[in-house]
Amino acid sequence: MANNFNLSNAAAKALADAFDDAVNIGSTASTIAIYDGSQATDPDTAIGAQVLLATLTGSDPMFGAASDSNPGGLLTASAITSDSSADATGTASWFRIRATGSGADDVADGTCGTSGSDLNFNTVSITSGSTVAITAFTVTMSEG
């Protein structure tokens, strides 16, 4: 295992752009699915007993070209359409980005919280039928 593996800024930006390409495959807008329960091992792991709380639809494309976040490559999401009627009541604990919205092309997972998480909400308590919104979302590929 590498102990001091570093990337250049150019490589980090290239990785961010490759991630953007993976999210924006096909002609269907990508989605962000919000779940309760334990986060899956990785995006290749099928969803188990976790409950889908809400699904938000990204713009097509979800991200544009990476910018230099110094250090790293920064992707900033375009507008994300709110889920105007959440599917279930629960505590948002993790999310999955789906390139085609169907689960066939899952790209990334992350944690949900109110601060210090991969995706922060003003509250993680979601009520069935309520509106769930994401006002800003960024992804950074680290350099160094």
Distance CA 122, CA 139 (A): 19
* Amino acid (1-letter code) at residue 71: P
Cα dihedral: 10, 13, 19, 21 (round 10): -90
Q: Which of 139, 121, 127 is nearest to 54 (CA)?
A: 127
Distance CA 45, CA 27 (A): 24
pTM as predicted: 0.91
pLDDT tens-digit readout, 17-47:
999 999 988 778 899 999 999 999 999 999 9
Distance CA 113, CA 93 (A): 7
Distance CA 7, CA 13 (A): 10
Distance CA 18, CA 133 (A): 26
pLDDT tens-digit readout, 1-10:
557 888 898 9
Mean pLDDT of 66-71: 85
